[in-house]
């Protein structure tokens, strides 16, 4: 069995919230290289989604391994001290909400997507990471990929995919999950995941053989910190081909830039724009929200690749569309639906405004 762990955190941005600086990428590579030499991990790839540092690791320790989680936690902690604070990066250590590591990185601030499986004869893996949005942003994409035949031809023309997929959906408010089968229960599924700030797709399983097909990060910083501290820029792992959607069927879902929550100050609606690693940076209005997609073939635990999947003219039209959609939203300025509803905002001045106007209402 091989385990793939994608663990990420924002531990400091250059400039503001735009990107992870090269110093942090290099620092993380050094630490993971050392872990590879000590046989803690088999392989790794370090990259960034905007200002989020992404540690992709393969190993044989299973999901929720204390050793692997601790490696990621220590990497983030040490780099915060050694690099972020020294360079006075913006928001140094911002996602590290706890002081001491206690066995599992879940609930401590960083986001994590993890899956363990028996490596197939050929094992294509797609790795997605987004900045300036939240885990629920994956909901429409995962619906399209595993339940919509207008996106995924295999659901209709491949008998293995025709068995359908099981979605495990998390209720973020109650911390509970429910399993729903597609296609029979797609209306119930959509009734939940259409509210992405509340219900989030956590995992997807093949109903042909029960194998894990996709796993997403589902943390909610605000529930950990006890107050609103921002959006959890999300990560996602998807296995492709054979009993799963083809690589191109997975990517096809990203041809439409769905409106997601996040963007400026974590408080605005904007389109999720697919970009190459080179353009994995947030600029206009601290965005727009962006997603990178990396492809790997796994070979005896080694991560062969990556292939930068959105670094292609085939996604130029989507990016153009995303900027048109961004423009439509930006023209709304401080008005909803560009600005999020009060319960989803990272900042609000409303209590202070109400206080100031107290006594003036007639």
The smaller minimum CB distance to ligand 13P, of residues 157 and 350, is found at: 157
Distance of CA 158 to the CA centre of its chain: 28
Catalytic residue flag (residue 203): no
**Interface with ligand 13P (CB under 6 A), residue from 135, 266, 270, 306:** 266
List 286, 291, 326, 344, residue binding ligand 13P (CB under 6 A): 286
Q: Which is nearer to ligand 13P, 71 or 155 (CB)?
A: 155
Shortest approach of ligand 13P to residue 185 CB, angstroms? Answer: 27
Q: What is the DSSP letter of 227?
A: S
- Say whether 228 is catalytic: yes
Among the options 8, 10, 202, 208, which is catalytic? 10
Dist CA 157 CA 155 (whole Å): 6
Q: How far is the CB of 294 from ligand 13P (least distance, A)?
A: 19
In the bound state with ligand 13P, the residue whose beta carbon lies nearer, of 65 and 280, is: 280
132 binds ligand 13P (CB under 6 A): yes
Q: Is 233 in the site for ligand 13P (CB under 6 A)?
A: yes
Active-site hit among 8, 61, 77, 231? 231
Q: How many CB atoms lie within 10 A of CB 179?
A: 12
Binder among 8, 77, 144, 231 for ligand 13P (CB under 6 A): 231
**231, interface contact from Mg ion, ligand 13P, none, CB < 5-8 Å by kind:** ligand 13P
From CA 327, how far away is CA 312, in angstroms rounded? Answer: 23
Residue 255's H or E segment, with its range, is none
Report how far residue 131's alpha carbon sits from residue 236's, in angstroms, rounded to the nearest whole number.
12
- How far CA 123 is from CA of 145, 299, 314, in Å, comes to 18, 7, 24
By a kind-dependent CB cut-off of 5 to 8 A, residue 134 interacts, out of ligand 13P, Mg ion, none, with none
Taking CB atoms within 8 Å and a gap of at least 24, the contacts of 144-149 are: 144/252, 144/253, 145/214, 145/238, 145/245, 145/249, 145/250, 145/252, 145/253, 146/182, 146/204, 146/213, 146/214, 146/245, 147/182, 147/183, 147/186, 147/189
**317 is a catalytic site residue:** no
Active-site annotation, residues: 10, 228, 231
Sites of contact with ligand 13P (CB under 6 A):
10, 17, 50-51, 91, 131-132, 230-231, 233, 241, 246, 248, 264-266, 286
């Amino acid at each position: 069995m091989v385990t793939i762990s994608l663990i990420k955190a924002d531990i400091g941005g250059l400039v503001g919230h735009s990107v992870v600086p090269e110093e942090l990428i290099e620092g993380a590579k050094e630490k993971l290289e050392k872990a590879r030499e000590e046989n803690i991990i088999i392989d790794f790839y370090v990259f960034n989604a905007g200002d989020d540092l992404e540690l992709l690791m393969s190993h044989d320790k299973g999901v929720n391994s204390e050793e692997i989680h601790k490696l990621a936690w220590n990497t983030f902690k040490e780099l915060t001290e050694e690099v972020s604070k020294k360079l006075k990066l913006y928001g140094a250590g911002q996602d590290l909400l706890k002081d001491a590591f206690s066995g599992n990185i879940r609930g401590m601030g960083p986001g994590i997507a993890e899956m363990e499986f028996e490596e197939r004869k050929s094992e294509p893996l797609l790795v997605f990471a987004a900045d300036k949005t939240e885990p629920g942003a994956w909901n429409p994409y995962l619906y399209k990929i595993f339940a919509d035949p207008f996106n995924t031809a295999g659901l209709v023309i491949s008998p293995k995919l025709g068995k359908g997929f099981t979605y495990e959906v998390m209720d973020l408010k109650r911390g509970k999950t429910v399993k729903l089968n597609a296609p029979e229960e797609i209306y119930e599924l959509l009734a939940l995941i259409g509210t992405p700030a509340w219900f989030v797709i956590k995992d997807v399983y093949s109903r042909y053989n029960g194998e894990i097909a996709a796993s997403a990060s589902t943390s909610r910083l605000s529930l950990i910190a006890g107050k609103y501290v921002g959006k959890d820029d999300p990560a996602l792992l998807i296995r492709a081909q054979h009993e799963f959607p083809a690589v191109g069927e997975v990517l096809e879902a990203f041809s439409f830039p769905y409106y997601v929550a996040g963007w400026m100050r974590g408080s605005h609606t904007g389109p999720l724009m697919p970009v190459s690693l080179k353009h994995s940076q947030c600029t206009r209005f601290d965005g727009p929200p962006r997603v990178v997609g990396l492809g790997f073939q796994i070979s005896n635990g080694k991560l062969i690749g990556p292939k930068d999947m959105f670094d292609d003219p085939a996604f130029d039209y989507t990016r153009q569309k995303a900027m048109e959609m961004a423009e439509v939203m930006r023209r709304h300025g401080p008005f909803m639906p560009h600005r999020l509803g009060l319960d989803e905002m990272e900042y609000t001045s409303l209590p202070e405004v109400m206080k100031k106007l107290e006594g003036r209402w007639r």
